[in-house]
Amino acid sequence: MGGIQLATFIIAAYGAVLSTLLLVKGTRGIAVYCKMATGGMVELVVIEAVNKRARPVTITQAGLRMNNGYSFTQVVSTMGQTPLPKKLDFGDVIAIYFDLSELEKVMAEKRPAGVTLTRAFVRDAEGKEYASRLPRRLKDKGFAK
């Protein structure tokens, strides 16, 4: 391999590595967590979304997905309603609250037989959905598998 060919190869390899790094840095990276919490006398299901990358992301919707394709989206909670859409810069966190008592009431009254919760999710302005597993407490109550 001649000197010119070696230099061309090195420049091409450098360009490939650089473009890969820039691509990774520019992608959306939302981590979603679903957990149980207590807000005074009320038990809550909390969905948190954290932006793990430098690219800002706008969260437009959050909820609990069911195995029949439907979902519960944010309703008024005793902790207040989180205003959406919300822009998340690097490191920003948004929390969306669901009262467990309200969720229990809806699941008991309006849930068709065999329908269970499958995951918590948030959706961004571009329509991409990020999901999380559900807390064990919801599984113990028979709302999830």
The pLDDT of residue 30 is: 94
Determine contact, residues 73/61, Cβ cutoff 8 Å: yes
Do residues 116 and 144 lie in contact, with contact meaning Cβ atoms separated by under 8 Å?
A: yes
Instruction: Determine the pLDDT at residue 16.
Output: 74
Residue 96 β-bridge partners: 47
Query: What pLDDT, on a 0 to 100 scale, did the predictor assign at position 10?
Result: 78
**In the prediction, which pLDDT does 145 show?**
80
Kindly report, residue by residue over 13-31, the tens digit of the pLDDT: 777 776 766 655 555 689 9
| Residue segments in the chain with a per-residue pLDDT below the cut of 50 | none
The string of DSSP letters for 34-51 reads EEEEEETTEEEEEEEEEE
Query: What are the structural domain ranges in the chain?
Result: 29-140
pLDDT score at 72: 82
Closest CA to 65 of 142, 131, 135: 131
Confidence at residue 48, expressed as pLDDT on a 0 to 100 scale: 96
Give the pLDDT confidence score for residue 24 in this predicted structure: 55
Q: Which pLDDT value is given to residue 22? A: 60
Q: What pLDDT sits at residue 76? A: 67
pLDDT for residue 8: 79
In CATH terms, the fold of domain 29-140 is Immunoglobulin-like (2.60.40)
What pLDDT is recorded for position 1? Answer: 67
Return the pLDDT at 110. 75
Query: 126 — phi, psi (to 5°)?
Result: -90, 0
